[in-house]
Amino acid sequence: MIVAVDAAGGDFYPKNPVEGALQAIEENSDLTVLLVGPEEIIKKELANHKYDEKRVLVHDAPQIIGMEESPAQAVKTKQQSSIVVGLGLHKAGKCDAFVSAGNTGALLAASMFILGKLEGVLRPTIASYYPTLKGFRLLVDAGANLDIKPETASQFAKMAQIYCQQILHIEDPKVGLLNVGEEEGKGTENLKEIYATLKDHENFIGNVEGKDILPGKADVYVCDGLVGNIILKFGESIPEIVQKMIGSAIKEMQMSEQEVANIQKVLHAALSSFNYENVGGIPFLGVNGVSIVGHGGSSPLAIKNMIKSAVQTVEQDVNGKIVASLN
């Protein structure tokens, strides 16, 4: 299997993408990585490491799409960027998947334009991992579609369920519709219509509220991209804020070094489920290929786990199962 890696993506390129790619091939003897980006900087970084040269390939893509650039404009004007070239290689069958910690909007736009949609898919979506007391679950849509129609929401639920089954190993994923109350008649007219569409959906448990997410009442939380992205960004802020609050309390209480060390151990263990590094990246479901995006600050461990997720998505034929579920 060959996975292309955006070596010019994220806040710490090429160091972290290269190191993560090398960790991935050490862990998987059947894997080859294709590093896509400015050849000179990639080879300069590779010179700092010992690796199997037969399983680490480099493809030159001299342009770089910055994290703050307009996605549509960047994809249109930077045809030699690592994102556009990498996805082009995937489309041409030169690799089995593409992963990037770069500009999310640009990767989504390029994935839709270059790879296209799977047969039967109305709109691709971003399905994000979200931590709960039961482990990571999926939030869909997480920002790709600010408005969703009932039939689109139904497809999102089906695609996310398949991903949960194949990648998160949840046997019968439960689907909940994020709403302002649990009763069937709650929410906007659009939410009521979505509810009616999902009502006969397999494993649909009805409306769920914001308070139900962290306890893990459902396995797939369906919402529009506006709500989903707000929830996602809020969740990302929790660990840092909790640590700051506890840090302030420790200073006020003048705790001993040993007490502080014990609290830090407990805090680290308790918040480990919020650590994005453990899952690496999130998939674009519904595109005709495997395209996975990671956090801009992705560490080598996160990059390695992004590649691992890509491999699993290909091996489990997630896209084939999605197409079958929609027909």
38: Cα separation from own chain's centroid: 24
| Sign of the torsion formed by the C-alpha atoms of 162, 314, 86 and 65 | positive
Both 94 and 8 in one domain: the answer is yes
- What is each CA distance from 123 to 115, 117, 154, 284, 310, in whole angstroms? 13, 7, 11, 10, 21
Out of 128-132, 145-149, 177-181, 235-239, least confident range:
235-239
Q: What is the pLDDT of residues 96-133, one digit of tens each?
A: 999 999 988 899 999 999 999 999 999 999 999 998 98
Q: Please give the residue that has the higher pLDDT: either 241 or 7.
A: 7
User: Which of 89, 84, 86 lies closest to 71, judged by CA?
Assistant: 84
Report the domain count for the chain: 2
Using the predicted structure, report yes or no on whether residue 275 has a pLDDT greater than 90: no
Owning domain of residue 258: 126-279
Both 166 and 99 in one domain: the answer is no
Both 175 and 223 in one domain: the answer is yes
Residue 226's CATH number: 3.40.718.10
Number of other CB atoms surrounding residue 320 within 10 Å: 11
161 vs 138: CA distance, rounded Å? 9
- What is each CA distance from 194 to 111, 184, 231, in whole angstroms? 27, 11, 19
User: Which of 182, 137, 97 lies closest to 273, judged by CA?
Assistant: 137
Using the predicted structure, report yes or no on whether residue 322 has a pLDDT greater than 90: yes
Q: What six digits make up the tokens of 173?
A: 């994923």
